[in-house]
């Protein structure tokens, strides 16, 4: 009588996609609240505390305010391209999360005949997929600046795109060193390669083998913070692996690690001074890129030497 319904695994997979998408949307609201709170504590203030308990509903109040405000667009802008530009950047940030695993497989307490991976899709070239999708964000920035028909907006877009392209080189070399260690481009296999402990108590996370690579990655990846932190968790911090919790609750370890990295980004943003554009480019080309090259060559040499 229920033949018209899709199979249970398909329903479960679409349900997983729905949950992940909404978690990403809510993470944006949470990051607004967390950044304002952390910023306030750093500056010896309280931060949002009026809308909802401890200001939890402040991000939603801000969204309602933005939705009811007048839509402003430069008079000479191309309306269609100007509207598409932010969709490209936001879509790239969401799509890149599709290959990130945030937990082990589950049968939903026996409801499924075969385990369902806690991941939208598992591809054996996940790192390359992330590179390709993350690079699409540059097009959104350039398109926004160009479609506004303003020389100042175009100049800002060119500077932002030059910065992102420059730092992607260091970003890629840092990840290449991890790929060599794991022997795989799959994020799930990379996480599983970090299982176990050294001397019985030190996790075999790649951050201990690649401290310089991790630093380079975190410096070069200050863009889509949630996705960047999730990828860093999988590549350097053992993903969902951790002590004290059963394997099926590993997603809690994953969320805790991502939250820690997000706090690091917010803390860094409100503690360190901002670089000028020329200083930013100089740091990327003269310091970060050579360090990434040396880290890559040293990792390759150690792998050939030790095996």
Same domain (yes/no): 57, 88: no
Question: In terms of domains, do 4 and 123 share one?
Answer: no
Domain that holds residue 138: 77-306
φ, ψ dihedrals at 253, nearest 5°: -65, -40
Same-domain pairing of 168 and 241: yes
Q: What does the pLDDT look like over 231-259, one tens digit per residue?
A: 999 999 988 888 888 888 888 999 999 99
- 44 and 105 both lie in a single domain: no
Domain boundary among 72, 90, 120: 72
Output the pTM of the full model.
0.88
Strand 202-203 and strand 197-198: pairing? antiparallel
pLDDT score at 164: 83
**Residues 217, 265 contacting (CB under 8 angstroms):** no
Domain count of the fold of the chain? 2
Q: Rounded distance, CA 161 to CA 153, Å?
A: 12
Q: Given this model, what pLDDT does residue 263 score?
A: 92
> Across the strands, what pairs with 118?
103
Please tell me the predicted confidence (pLDDT) of residue 236: 93
Low-confidence ranges of the chain (pLDDT < 70): 1-8, 109-110, 307
- Quick one: 43 and 146 in the same domain? no
C-beta separation of 103 from 242 below 8 A: no
Residues 283 and 299 grouped into a single domain: yes
Instruction: Write out the two tokens for 212.
Output: 């310089």
Say if residue 94 is in the same domain as residue 196: yes
For residues 121 and 169, membership in a common domain is answered with yes
For 22-46, give the DSSP string: HHHHHHHHHHHHHHHHHHHHHTT--
Do 279 and 224 share a structural domain?
Answer: yes
pLDDT score recorded for residue 1: 43
Alpha helices in the chain (DSSP H): 8-42, 58-68, 79-96, 126-147, 151-182, 187-192, 211-220, 225-236, 250-271, 277-282, 289-306
239 lies in the same domain as 252: yes
Q: Which of 72, 88, 116 is the last residue of a domain?
A: 72
What are the tens digits of pLDDT across the range 10-20? Answer: 777 788 888 88
Out of 46, 72, 98, a domain closes at 72
- How confident is the model over 16-35, as pLDDT tens digits? 888 888 888 888 888 888 88
52 lies in the same domain as 85: no
Is the CB of residue 163 less than 8 Å from the CB of residue 280? Answer: yes
Residues 166 and 189 in one domain: yes
């Amino acid at each position: 009588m229920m033949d018209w319904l899709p199979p249970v695994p398909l329903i479960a997979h679409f349900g997983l996609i729905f949950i992940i998408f909404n978690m990403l949307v809510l993470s944006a609201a949470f990051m607004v609240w967390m950044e304002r709170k952390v910023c306030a504590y750093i500056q010896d203030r309280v931060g949002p505390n009026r809308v909802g308990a401890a200001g939890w509903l402040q991000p939603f109040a801000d969204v309602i305010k933005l939705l009811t405000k007048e839509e402003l667009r430069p008079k000479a802008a191309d309306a269609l391209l100007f509207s598409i530009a932010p969709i490209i950047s936001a879509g790239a940030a969401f799509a890149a999360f599709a290959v990130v695993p945030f937990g082990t497989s589950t049968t939903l307490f026996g409801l499924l005949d075969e385990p369902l991976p806690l991941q939208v899709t598992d591809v054996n070239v996940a790192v390359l997929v992330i590179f390709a999708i993350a690079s699409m964000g540059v097009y959104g920035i350039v398109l926004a600046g160009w479609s506004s028909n303003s020389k100042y907006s175009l100049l800002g877009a060119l500077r932002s795109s030059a910065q992102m392209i420059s730092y992607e080189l260091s970003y890629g070399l840092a990840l290449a060193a991890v790929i060599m260690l794991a022997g795989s481009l799959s994020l799930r296999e990379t996480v599983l390669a970090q299982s176990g402990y050294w001397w019985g108590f030190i996790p075999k996370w790649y951050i201990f083998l690649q401290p310089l690579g991790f630093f380079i990655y975190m410096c070069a990846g200050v863009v889509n913070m949630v996705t960047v932190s999730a990828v860093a968790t999988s590549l350097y911090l053992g993903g969902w692996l951790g002590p004290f919790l059963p394997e099926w609750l590993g997603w809690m370890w994953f969320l805790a690690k991502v939250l820690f990295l997000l706090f690091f980004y917010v803390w860094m943003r409100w503690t360190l001074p901002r670089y000028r554009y020329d200083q930013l480019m100089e740091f990327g080309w003269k310091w970060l890129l050579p360090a990434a090259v040396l880290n890559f060559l040293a990792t390759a040499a150690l792998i050939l030497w030790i095996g």
